Structures are given as C-alpha cells and as structure tokens.
A = this chain, B = another copy of it.
Amino acid sequence: MADDIGPLVDRIVKSDADGVPADKEALLDQLEDLEFDQWALLLEALPIEERIAQWQLIPDDMKAEVLVEMRADARLSVINALPTDVLEQLFGHLTPEDLIELADSLPDHLIDLALRQMGQKQRQFFEHSNQFNENQIGRYADHNLLILPQNAKVYDALRLFRRDIPECTDALFLTDRAGRYAGTVPLKSTFGAPGHISLVELMDEHAKPLPAETSLEESADIQEKSDYVLLPIVDSKGMLIGRMTIKDGFQILRENHESENMARAGLSEDEDLFSPVWKSSMRRATWLGINLLTAFLASWAIGLFEATLQQVVALAVLMPIVASMGGIAGSQTLTLIIRGIALGQISKGNLTPLLLKELAVGGFNGVLWALAIGGIVAYWFSDLMIGVVIAVAIALNILAAAFSGVLIPVILDKMKIDPALSGSVILTTVTDVVGFVTFLGLGTLFLI
C-alpha cells in the first residue's frame, strides 16, 4: 500500500538521532508531498514522542483530516499531547462527518467545543447522525448529494449539474415537500432527454433506498450489488438523510478485514503499534486469561494419567504430536465451514452430507498420518506397540477434529456467537483434550 512510509520513518528517526540538519531539508521536501492518509500512516509508525514532533509539520489545513484517518489509540496519543488552545483551533474546522468519526475517542468537552463552532445546519447533521450507533450506516451518511423536488424537470437537473457534481455520483434523488425520499434518477437518463420532461418519468423503478439502521457489513453488500456507485440513506420516517458511496463500502470492507484479523488474536482494532504499554498489556491479558483456562483443562486431562506417564515416559514426549495434528486438521474443517456460514450456505439441509464428507477427508488423512507417524514412532522407540497406540490416537483425534470442525461453528452461529472469533479456541481445546485422553488412555490400556 504505502511502501513509501518506511524510508521516511528511517529518516525521521535517524535525523533526530544524529541531529544532522542537511538530512532534514530533504526530509521536509518529502513530507510536503504526503497526502493525509500517508500522514496518518506515518504518525502511527512513529513512537509517541516522535509523533508529536512530526505533527507540527503537517500543514494546518490537513491536520483535522489526518486525525480522522488515524486509528483510535494513535489519535488519542496525539490529542492528549496537544495544548487546549491548539485543540480549540483544530476543532473549529471539523465537518459533522469528521466529528462523528472522532466522537468515540474524544472527551465530551472537545465534542462540545467542536459543536459550538459549527453552523446550525452542520450541528443538526451531527445530531442526526449521532442517533445511530457505530454499526449503523446512518451514522456515516454524508451530505454531498444531488437532491431535487419531485416535480423538477430535466432542465432543473442540468442546471444543478452545471454547478457541481460531487465525487462518486451517478444518480440524483427526488424528495417530496417534507424531505422524504421519492426516487432515484440515473444521471445518464437525463442526457439527451428533452428539458421539459418531468424527472419522475426518468426514475429507476428498481432503485431502493438504504434504511439508516442497516448494519455496515450489509450496507457494503447491498452497495456492491447495486447498479449505482452511491445509495440514498433514509431514516425510519422515510426522510432522505444522506448518502453512502461505494468508496464507503470499500472502507467498510477493509476495516472489517482488519478488525477480524486483530480479533482473532484477541486484539482490539484500535490497538496501535505504540499503544501505551499499560493499556496494551491489560487488553491482551484478557485473552491470555481465557487461553489459560483452556490450557488448564488440557493439563487436567493429562493429570488423569499421571501414573501411566510415570511408567511410560515416551507418552509425555509424544503427546504434543497427537494434540497438534488434531488441531491442524480441525482448523482446516473449521475454516471451510466458517466461510460457508458467512456466505449463508450452511443449513440443516446440507449439514449431514457435509459432515459425512469432512469425516471422509478426516478418515483419509487420519489413516495416512496414523500409518506414517506410527511407523516413525515405532522405529524411534523400538517398540511396535507404542507405534500402534499413537497411530490409533491420531486417527481418532483427526476424526474428532473433523466432527468438531463442522459442529462447533454451526452451534456457535445458532447461539449468535461469531464462529470466526471463538471457534478456533474452542476447537483446539477439544482436540487437545481428546488427543491427550485417547493417547494416554490407550497407553494405559496397552502399554502397562
């Protein structure tokens, strides 16, 4: 994406360490060309003290945008370091859309400050958006749209176009006198249409407005399938409150992807490269604690076989192999099923054939790896029986993994828990416990 940030980071840190002013000149030249999103990436990539130093170099008219673009933790680190008068000046230039983006990470007095400096209409826009929560598209509606009354004619549209057409616009919207959404007119159908024709006649009957309460993810889906690059957003009374563009959809997709990746490791999406140690430690501790419970469960399972382990220490050496093969095989099934659930493809109707197929794949790989590992282990410990025991345990654990890999995400989904987040922890707990118990249990039966 922004491969250009790395070398800049090096220069900044280096020139600060050496204090070489010649280097600084060249650096300043390069910084001048940065766009606001690159500035945001650059600041995030710097340790906190450096961030504040570089902040001064951002052109004043870009500062608000850079702040909006930054991730929450990094943004707060800058806001906390700025003196009140600088903040006051900064927040005098916020649009309602910017303020909404910043709202959750701003202290109340700063929000009030920004609101006081806004015009009445802007303030209304903010209040309106602020009714919706962070997962509703209405919160992020922007107000850059072409609107005409429903009795307008083609020449009204053409007059409007001549003034300005906002970015990402291929339709205009009609409203009734109360401001309720009345229809979508594709821009292209106005070309060549006689000036006196009513816009209502050019309306696209299939176009549907997006309810403001729609979730972000669903909005992006609807946007992707729409024939337009922007959608009108309406509130529950049918009032046209703003628009969503396909670029917003793009951003939603990227942010979802990022926060999913972070959440999978128990991290907050706000987490910043240089989040304060204390904050970052506390956040991560929770996930470590959850994991600890599952690890103790595995330990407890092993503890059941202490007497066996004392007699056959090879079992202790080999048991991680059984657990780990089950974990990997299970996560393969899990991943496939989670994708299916996300696409809405899994239901009662195909659950049985799916389970059978995964058990067949598990059976195949179970037997394959049971033979391979059993052979290696029998040779390693010069003991055929221990080879047989690990082979059977591995085959059983891979089968159990296939079974759990299908059922765990389906059950979680039924319970309205996102399987993409917790599925993997639960699955590996199952494969650990099943792996240890079958392996050590078989060992107890056949090796003592």
Task: Using CB atoms and an 8 Å cutoff, list the residues of chain A in contact with chain B.
Answer: 1-7, 9-14, 35, 37, 41, 44-47, 158, 161-162, 164-165, 167-170, 187-188, 191-192, 218, 221, 224-225, 227, 229, 246-247, 249-251, 253-254, 257-258, 261-262, 264-267, 271, 273-274, 277-278, 280-281, 284-285, 287-288, 291-292, 294-296, 298-299, 302-303, 306, 309-310, 313-314, 316-321, 323-325, 328-329, 331-332, 334-336, 338-340, 342-350, 353-354, 357, 360-361, 364-365, 368-369, 372-373, 376, 432
Contact = CB atoms under 8 A, between A and B. Distances in A.
A346 B250 contact: no
B46 A350 contact: yes
Listed residue (A4, A324, A340, A348) with the most chain B CB atoms within 10 angstroms of its CB: A324
Contacts of A3: 344
B170 A188 contact: no
B336 A9 contact: no
* 3 A-B pairs with least C-beta separation: A6-B347, A162-B192, A13-B349
A332 B284 contact: yes
B288 A10 contact: no
Contact of A284 (B14, B187, B246, B329): B329
Nearest to A246: B246
A9 B345 CA distance: 8
Contact of A45 (B309, B340, B376): B340
Contact of A41 (B5, B170, B343, B373): B343
A348 B8 CA distance: 10
A285 B253 contact: no
B287 A328 contact: yes
A310 to B, nearest CB: 5
A339 B258 CA distance: 8
Given A47-B357, A281-B364, A295-B320, 13 more contacts: A4-B344, A6-B344, A9-B345, A9-B350, A10-B348, A12-B349, A45-B350, A158-B192, A224-B250, A267-B336, A273-B354, A277-B360, A284-B361
B265 A335 contact: yes
Nearest to A308: B313
A385 B3 CA distance: 51
Contacts of A334: 265
Contacts of A14: 349
Contact of A354 (B274, B278, B318): B274
A231 to B, nearest CB: 14
Contact of A167 (B13, B227, B266, B368): B227
B191 A288 contact: no
Nearest to A306: B313
A110 B173 CA distance: 46
Contacts of A251: 224
Nearest to A167: B227
Listed residue (A41, A329, A338, A343) with the most chain B CB atoms within 10 angstroms of its CB: A343
B331 A265 contact: yes
11 contacts: A1-B344, A35-B225, A45-B343, A161-B188, A229-B246, A261-B335, A273-B350, A287-B332, A295-B321, A299-B318, A299-B320
